[in-house]
Structure 1
Amino acid sequence: MSARPGTAPTVLHIRFHPPGGEPEPADYEVLLDLLEAITPVVQALPPDAALLDISGALPYFHTDPAGLAAMIRARALATHSTDTTTAVAPNPLLAHLAAHTQPAGALRVLTEQQVAAFLAPLPPTALPGIGPAAARTLAQLGLTTLGRIAATPLPTLQRALGAGPGTRLHQHARGIDPTSVVPARPEPALTAEHHFPADELDPDRQRAALLHLAHQLGTALRARGQVAGTLTLTVRYADRTCSTRTRRPAQPTDHTPDLTDTAYRLHHSLGLQRARVRTLLLRAGELAPAGTAHRQLTLDPAPDLARLHEAAADRARHRFGHRAVTPASLLPPPPHGRWENSPARERAAPSSWEPDHQLQ
């Protein structure tokens, strides 16, 4: 662990809870300014969280970790009407886990002496990089909690998951995290989010939501004259844990089919079989001017024709609204309750699709 025995934990993880849900990008920047008035070592974790190294702030403000966290919460509420969930721990991993197991407004100070008991009952999916597929592999070995994993020999984990992932899991299950807080502001990005009205287990409905989010991002990128170099998918589950994967398209793009294909690949890589999904968040990162992007030359006219169709659809949406042109698989079924000659569409489309998303 990063802290010496007997020392106070000095890594603070904070999540913001503004009245309207997740903070808008401009509001998030202002909240980061508030944190940097406490300590200059602030690492942004968009869209709604941050890490702080408070080792220098504790003696400066003549307080302990709980007192400093309470002060930050009071300032956020007083100046921005934004509540917080805060955890202080010996390293970033433990601070993240402690913050995500607390309700809004809560504070948890996790000392080294409490780490083993805190980690023991948590499921493997609470750790970053452990999705449902890896959890199923571990469950076949009876490793359903971090306590059991911590007691498992390293070679067993390496055989099950591979040398690198097995080693990381072995360390994380014991609360070992060699990383530190790195000061960083959020990179320019566009984020589209879909909240399911109830826990969603159907992969077809999840893919339908991803299709809509990819269309939203593609339309926004083209309107801004930008391309995305990365696409990140964050899946939040019913138990408030989440999984995140990032992938680069073949080349920086604003083309909706490329974004959709990348989103589907990210979704498939998580192996979400019967996972209870609450929220899907798709983030386009490493934004750059579209004029700087290089396109692979090809003799196939289909990509250029598809872009012409896409530009026409964008003009229609700009003139008549975002529903003017919609993928057929997202249309609600006709009154008779079925798509004629296309049963696949009926399965893919929600019965009354109403996009519940935020685009930032």
Structure 2
Amino acid sequence: MGKTDGSERQVTVGPVDDSGADILHVDMDAFYASVEVLDHPELAGKPLIVGHATGRSVVSSASYEARRFGVRSAMPVSQALRLCPDAITVDPRMERYAELSRQVMQIFRRATPLVEPVSIDEAFLDVSGARKLLGSPSQIAAQVREWVRRETGLPASVGVAGTKFVAKLASGRAKPDGLLVVPVAETLAFLHPLPVGALWGVGPSTQTALNNLGLRTVGDIASAPHQLLEKRLGVSGTRLWQLARGVDVRVVETTRIEKSIGHEETFEFDVTDAAILRRELLRLASRAAARLRQASVVGRTVGLKLRYADFRTISRSRTLPEPTSVGRRIYEEAAALLDEAWSDRGPIRLIGVRVEQLEAAGGQPALWDPDEGWRQTEQALDGIAAKFGSGVLAPASLLGTKPRQVGDSDHFRG
């Protein structure tokens, strides 16, 4: 893979055989940072960090000028500023990013109805049915980039390939602000020189396991005995072997439910007060529940994440008798998990709540619903928030408390 600072950028120049390369992966470049430059042109060309410049905040996004100093997303802002002391730090503005994300996704749907949003700033497009109207896949990709730039002022990189996996790799190589087409016939030539870490699902531990087997490139994995990978890595070994050989049968899904929705908070100071932790759990559970209702889904499993001051991290979860999108129910389950997991009462650096095993809402209701009152109240709050803004009303225990924004983050996994 190319470096995230764009120093190994690779783009397509001139005509190329894109027949069969019907999958586009469009990725907005340093999205949050690009939005800040769009709204504040004086920041253009300067090292920029999006993140709170206090306490333990983490980098939400960084401009390419900052990335060249080693600044990366999810890095503590304090560390980022040590690497790049001249960087300008700005607070995140999630509502503004969401507004532009909606506009960008609508532009994608102008090219094809087969759009699968992956996150706030990236999506897969299947353009197989758009050829007659808009041209070849590479022409469509160029058109989408032009539309996005002209109508939003933001740069986007696009990878064009025969599969989702290769298209995503290609968009990463094309950054920033580039277009890379991988002809279907050249898929393996593109893949095999890449390091094993380029494959989806290869984290540090898997990479170490692969390196211990003498496998350092994607081509090494493709040449390895399938049985060896399956024996050492189980089902994931089979999947990696298939990806290394260019096999990816996944299609672009226009109706997609995330596997989990959650929020977590990094405190500015380590917390040992149970009341503060419970109050933060309520805030996080309420936000997660609002997201569930917004997406018209319910969750069957509630999870808790705790990170101690020494960075020791534990996770606990429990499955509910009935799936829910009620914040109070999520909170009560998370609070019970806190009582079980936080036995030593050690100082807590981070706390998080997640809801998993999501499914579409609207199934057969239970004969007796103990959460009916809370559900009606929260649905009423949804209506008020939609009309007047999300900060107008909140649970009584949260009134008078300042929302913690040091390291608050959203998590959506698909």
TM-score by shorter chain over 0.5 = yes
Instruction: Give the C-alpha shift of residue 257 in structure 1.
Output: 7.6
Distance, in Å, in 1 between the alignment partners of 2:172 and 2:336 is 30
Counterpart in the other structure of 1:355:
407
Deviation by residue 1:91-143 (Cα, 9 ceiling, x = unmatched): 11111222233323121111123322322233333322333332222121111
Distance, in Å, in 2 between the alignment partners of 1:186 and 1:50 is 14
Using the size of structure 1 for normalisation, the TM-score is 0.59
Q: Which moved more, 1:27-36 or 1:49-58?
A: 27-36
Are positions 1:169 and 2:240 aligned together? yes
Are positions 1:218 and 2:289 aligned together? no
Distance, in Å, in 2 between the alignment partners of 1:232 and 1:144 is 35
Alignment of 1:261-300 (within 5 A): none
Counterpart in the other structure of 1:111:
183
**Conserved? CA contact 1:192–1:281, under 8 Å:** yes
Alignment of 1:223-242 (within 5 A): 228-229=299-300
Are positions 1:99 and 2:171 aligned together? yes
Distance, in Å, in 2 between the alignment partners of 1:224 and 1:177 is 30
Counterpart in the other structure of 1:143:
215
Deviation by residue 1:326-350 (Cα, 9 ceiling, x = unmatched): xxxxxxxxxxxxxxxxxxxxxxxxx
Instruction: Give the C-alpha shift of residue 28 in structure 1.
Output: 2.8
Q: Summarize the Cα distance change of 1:6–1:218 in structure 2 as closer, same or farther, 3 Å threshold.
A: closer
Counterpart in the other structure of 2:403:
322
RMSD: 4.6
Alignment of 1:21-170 (within 5 A): 24-62=97-135, 64-162=136-234, 164-170=235-241
Distance, in Å, in 2 between the alignment partners of 1:66 and 1:6 is 7
Distance, in Å, in 1 between the alignment partners of 2:222 and 2:303 is 30
Q: Which runs of 5+ in 1 are unaligned?
A: 196-210, 234-246, 264-279, 298-312, 324-352
Counterpart in the other structure of 1:276:
none
Are positions 1:181 and 2:252 aligned together? yes
User: % of aligned pairs identical?
Assistant: 28
Instruction: Give the C-alpha shift of residue 6 in structure 1.
Output: 8.0
**Conserved? CA contact 1:194–1:358, under 8 Å:** no
**Conserved? CA contact 2:288–2:355, under 8 Å:** no
Instruction: Give the C-alpha shift of residue 53 in structure 1.
Output: 1.0
Instruction: Give the C-alpha shift of residue 9 in structure 1.
Output: 0.9
Instruction: Give the C-alpha shift of residue 168 in structure 1.
Output: 1.5
Q: Which runs of 5+ in 2 are unaligned?
A: 1-16, 37-60, 62-93, 267-277, 305-315, 339-351, 371-393
Aligned match for 1:15, one of 27, 30, 34: 27
- Secondary structure of 1:50 counterpart: strand
Q: Summarize the Cα distance change of 1:144–1:55 in structure 2 as closer, same or farther, 3 Å threshold.
A: same
Q: Summarize the Cα distance change of 1:232–1:222 in structure 2 as closer, same or farther, 3 Å threshold.
A: closer
Aligned residue pairs total: 267
- Secondary structure of 2:26 counterpart: strand
Q: Summarize the Cα distance change of 1:357–1:119 in structure 2 as closer, same or farther, 3 Å threshold.
A: same
Instruction: Give the C-alpha shift of residue 88 in structure 1.
Output: 0.4
Aligned match for 1:250, one of 319, 336, 340: 319
Alignment of 1:298-337 (within 5 A): 314-323=395-404
Aligned amino acid, residue 23 of structure 2:
V
Aligned amino acid, residue 107 of structure 1:
L
Q: Summarize the Cα distance change of 1:221–1:91 in structure 2 as closer, same or farther, 3 Å threshold.
A: closer
Q: Summarize the Cα distance change of 1:39–1:89 in structure 2 as closer, same or farther, 3 Å threshold.
A: same
Q: Summarize the Cα distance change of 1:60–1:115 in structure 2 as closer, same or farther, 3 Å threshold.
A: same
Distance, in Å, in 2 between the alignment partners of 1:84 and 1:46 is 14
Distance, in Å, in 1 between the alignment partners of 2:366 and 2:400 is 27
- Secondary structure of 1:100 counterpart: helix
Aligned amino acid, residue 319 of structure 1:
G
